[in-house]
Amino acid sequence: MREFVAEIVSIGRLRHRNLVQLLGYCRRKGELLLVYDYMPNGSLDKYLHDQPKVALNWRQRFRVIKGVASGLFYLHGEWDQVVVHRDVKASNVLLDGELNGRLGDFGLARLYDHGTDPQTTHVVGTLGYLAPEHTRTGKATPSTDVFAFGAFLLEVACGRRPIEAKSPTEDVILVDWVYSCWSNGDIMEAKDPNLGSGYEAEEVELVLKLGLLCSHSEPEARPTMRQVLQFLEGDVPFPEMSSLSLTSSGLTFGHRQGFDDYAMSYSSSVCKGFSHCSVADSLLSGGR
């Protein structure tokens, strides 16, 4: 109980326009409940999957994406401690009265001091958003949040869940499907058909490619949330991905040779766009 209250007090001090404000907690019949600001438009999940006829347009989706990225950057690097959310997904992104995206539900969040090593915990989260190294080591890091954010990016751009049942015995993995579209030379085939014609093709393509990069199986090849935000804001151009030799093995759970080559060459080149890069930064270490 003391640990729970200490973490709630800490999380309650978080202040960011793209985070749902935690107001406090209460105990009721042995249950511990977290109390947040009320978000009148509910969760993003509802607009992507449950109400396709009132799906958000691209301008609204892109604003939500940038808002959540800004909130995660704050959690990972701008606050007194490192806050790893551990459950980034569309159903935990709530929309306020103006349809701004706010990341909520900090019930699984873990805090640790900057410069220290996160402790091993029980593996928690949602299937489809879990980074492969998290399931192996039990350590939740900013890079595991980046992986989940990659799945979130693809979910928002494609209007599909990270894992969907194709048949009783077969699932469709969204990241692999988007990768196959890219490897076939038409990544825009993966976009949500509910977007209609009113979208910026360059922005959609950026989100799809960035979703693939954040979903890389190797944490060192993923960007940090600082870098993600700079790509989304257009402060740093996203590297060209078209000149790769590709293989057909899995991106998320396997080893995709062409993509790995791209990620490592990307790691060294993207560092030039930032004012301070250590050796670890140049490998896009998720812990930075």
**Number of separate helices (H) and strands (E) present in the chain:** 10, 8
Whether 25 maps to a domain, the answer reads no
Considering the candidates 87, 105, 145, 176, report the single residue annotated as catalytic. 87
Q: In the structure, what pLDDT confidence band is assigned to residue 257 with cuts at 50, 70 and 90?
A: very low
Whether 238 maps to a domain, the answer reads yes
Contact 21, 34 (CB under 8 A): no
pLDDT at site 158: 95
Per-residue pLDDT, averaged over 61-71, amounts to 98
Pick the more confident residue, 262 or 97.
97
Q: Is the pLDDT of residue 67 over 80?
A: yes
Per-residue pLDDT, averaged over 26-40, amounts to 87
Q: Is the pLDDT of residue 11 over 70?
A: yes
Per-residue pLDDT, averaged over 183-205, amounts to 92
Whether 27 maps to a domain, the answer reads no
Q: In the structure, what pLDDT confidence band is assigned to residue 53 with cuts at 50, 70 and 90?
A: low
Whether 33 maps to a domain, the answer reads no
Pick the more confident residue, 279 or 9.
9
Q: Is the pLDDT of residue 168 over 60?
A: yes
Q: Domain range spanning residue 70?
A: 39-282
Q: Domain of 82: which CATH number?
A: 1.10.510.10
Query: CA 213, 218, 221, 222 torsion: positive or negative?
Result: positive
Whether 5 maps to a domain, the answer reads no
Q: Is the pLDDT of residue 263 over 90?
A: no
Pick the more confident residue, 75 or 242.
75
Tell me if residue 145 is catalytic.
Answer: no
Distance from C-alpha of 26 to C-alpha of 63, rounded to nearest angstrom: 33
Single-letter amino acid code for the residue at 36: Y
Whether 32 maps to a domain, the answer reads no
Whether 260 maps to a domain, the answer reads yes
Instruction: Please give the mean pLDDT across all residues of the chain.
Output: 81
Collapsing DSSP states into helix, strand and coil, what is residue 83? strand
Per-residue pLDDT, averaged over 122-143, amounts to 84
Q: Is the pLDDT of residue 179 over 90?
A: yes
pLDDT at site 73: 97
Whether 26 maps to a domain, the answer reads no
Specify the number of domains making up the chain.
1
Q: In the structure, what pLDDT confidence band is assigned to residue 103 with cuts at 50, 70 and 90?
A: very high
Q: Is the pLDDT of residue 214 over 90?
A: yes
pLDDT at site 159: 92
